[in-house]
Amino acid sequence: MMNIRDAVETDLSAILAITNHAILVTTAMWSVTPVDLEGRTEWWRQLVSRNFPVLVAEINGEVIGFGSYGSFRPFEGYAHTVEHRVYVAPSVHRRGAGAVLLRALIDRAIAAGIHVMIGAIDAENEASLALHRRFGFVETGRMPEVGRKFDRWLDLVLMQKILGR
Ligand SMILES: CC(C)(COP(=O)(O)OP(=O)(O)OC[C@H]1O[C@@H](n2cnc3c(N)ncnc32)[C@H](O)[C@@H]1OP(=O)(O)O)[C@@H](O)C(=O)NCCC(=O)NCCS
C-alpha cells in the first residue's frame, strides 16, 4: 500500500540513504561527495521554509522514495518556474512510486500557482526521460558534455511542462 505525504524530520535518514546511493552509484545525480544527515536536514529546512514541498512515498510505513521542487534560478523573474526531482530506492523501481510522486508534485505546483516545471535529466537516464514524457514533459534543451562523473562527459536534457496560462 503506497502513501504519499509531506516529509518530516525523521524521514531524512531514509532520504539520505536514497540520495547517497544516487550519488555514489549512478549518474542520475551529478554530485560525487556523499551528503550527511546535517546537510540533508538543512536542505529540507531551506525548502520547507520557502513553502516548497518535500514529499515522501512510503510502502507499509517504510520511506522508499522522495520528490521535491525548488527555485529553477535565483532571480525574481523565475519565480513561477521550479526545478523538481524524484528519487526512488532501486529495490522498488518500476512499481509506480516515481509516477505517484511526480503526479503529487505537479498537483502541488498547480495549487501553488507555478507556471512551469523543469526536470534536469542525464541524457542516458531513460527511466526518468520516459517517466517525464508520460506526464507530458517535453524536451526543451539538450546540453552536450556539461557534466562529468565517473571519468566521462555527461549530456543534460531539460524537460519542461507548462502547467497553466
Ligand atoms: C526515474 C525513477 C524516479 C522512476 O521511478 P519508478 O518508481 O521506478 O517509476 P514508475 O514505476 O513510477 O514508472 C512510471 C513510468 O516511468 C517510465 N519508466 C520508469 N522506469 C523505466 C525504465 N527503467 N525504463 C523505461 N521507462 C521507465 C515508464 O513509462 C513507467 O510507466 P510503466 O511502468 O507503466 O511503463 C527511478 O528510476 C529513479 O529513482 N531513478 C534514479 C533517480 C533518478 O533518475 N531520478 C530522476 C532525476 S530527475
Indicate whether residue 68 lines ligand 1 (CB < 6 A): no
* Nearest by Cα to 38 from 13, 8, 65: 13
Per-residue tens of pLDDT for the chain, all 165 residues = 899 999 999 999 999 999 999 999 999 999 999 999 999 999 999 999 999 999 999 999 999 999 999 999 999 999 999 999 999 999 999 999 999 999 999 999 999 999 999 999 999 999 999 999 999 999 999 999 999 999 999 999 999 999 986
If one residue of 87, 93, 125, 126 were mutated to test the ligand 1 pocket, choosing by the most ligand atoms within 8 A of its CB, it would be 93
Give pLDDT, residue 60: 95
Question: Which amino acid residue places its CA nearest to atom 22 of ligand 1?
Answer: 127
C-alpha cell at 152: 566521462
Residues of the domain holding 138: 2-162
The Å distance, Cα 159 to ligand 1 centre, comes to 15
Give pLDDT, residue 164: 82
Question: Which amino acid residue places its CA nearest to atom 32 of ligand 1?
Answer: 94
Total number of domains constituting the chain: 1
Question: Which amino acid residue places its CA nearest to atom 34 of ligand 1?
Answer: 96
The beta-strand segments (E) located in 91-151 are 116-122, 138-149
**CATH, residue 144:** 3.40.630.30
Give pLDDT, residue 11: 98
